[in-house]
Amino acid sequence: MKIAVLGTGAVGKTIGSKLIQLGHEVKMGSRNAGGEKALTWLKEAGSNASEGTFEDAAAFAEILFNCTAGVGSLEALQLAGAQHLANKILVDVSNPLDFSNGMPPSLSVCNTDSLGEQIQATFPELKVVKTLNTMWCGLMVNPGLINGGDHQVFVAGNDGEAKKSVSTNILNAFGWKPETILDLGDITKARGTEMYLPLWLSIYGATSNGAFNIKIVR
């Protein structure tokens, strides 16, 4: 498939490279085409990789990943262009972390709203599927790195078919076994996964190891 990865940070590069490995064509999008991060990634990523503006990537893609910093996601998607987003799936892995007051970051939106909901409300024809935002990017694309892959990934979104497609074509392909994927419900459930970030950061701070995840036990 033709996939856009919006964002050239560690998350975008990790997901982009995994998608290339899986045989997809990936266009990485950023504010300005030809930036150093995107070009460095291109060299590593091989012939199915390309880069351009957010709009170039969105126009190219059948499905998109939002890997931009959460506080800039809405602007990035505006630059991508609503006409290039309509009826497409956006896999939203971002978190609204606000570092403007130092560490630890706060959330720029939470409690009665979430970034996932804001994106869905701003682009009603986009099928937003919030997932993978509760862990380090190395685990997103390789859950088998820890505990034999037996830990949880959450999915939230309003479109059941889109969630099914992301679960099968993306999460399973990344290595997530069906029984590890928990569908929390509609896009309002993005609140819980985004508001988990402060606990994630606290656990990371207490253990000095980001390669962890949570497993639900009962």
User: Which residues sit at the interface with a copy of itself, rule CB under 8 A?
Assistant: 106-107, 110-112, 146-147, 150-151, 154, 156, 182-185, 189, 191-193, 195-196, 198-203, 205-207, 209, 211-218
Of 59 and 195, the one with the shorter C-beta distance to a copy of itself is 195
Bridge-based pairing of strands 106-107 and 97-98 is: antiparallel
Residue 182 CB, shortest distance to a copy of itself, in Å, is: 6
Is the CB of residue 153 less than 8 Å from the CB of residue 143? Answer: yes
Q: How far is the CB of 150 from a copy of itself (least distance, A)?
A: 7
Instruction: Give the integer Cα–Cα distance in Å for 86 and 61.
Output: 11
| Shortest CB 156 distance to a copy of itself, Å | 8
Whole-angstrom Cα Rg for the chain: 16
Please report how close the Cβ of residue 176 comes to a copy of itself at its closest, in angstroms. Answer: 14
- Of residues 82 and 201, the one with the C-beta less far from a copy of itself: 201
Minimal distance, residue 26 CB to a copy of itself, in Å = 29
What DSSP string describes 125-181? TSEEEEESTTS-HHHHT-GGGSGGG-S-EEEE-S-HHHHHHIIIIIIIHHT--GGGE
Q: What is the largest CA-CA distance in the chain?
A: 49
CA distances from 129 to 36, 43, 126, 174 (A): 29, 30, 9, 16
Nearer residue to a copy of itself within complex by CB, 123 or 200: 200
Nearer to a copy of itself among residue 174 and residue 200 (C-beta): 200
Name the residue nearer to a copy of itself (CB basis): 80 or 97: 97
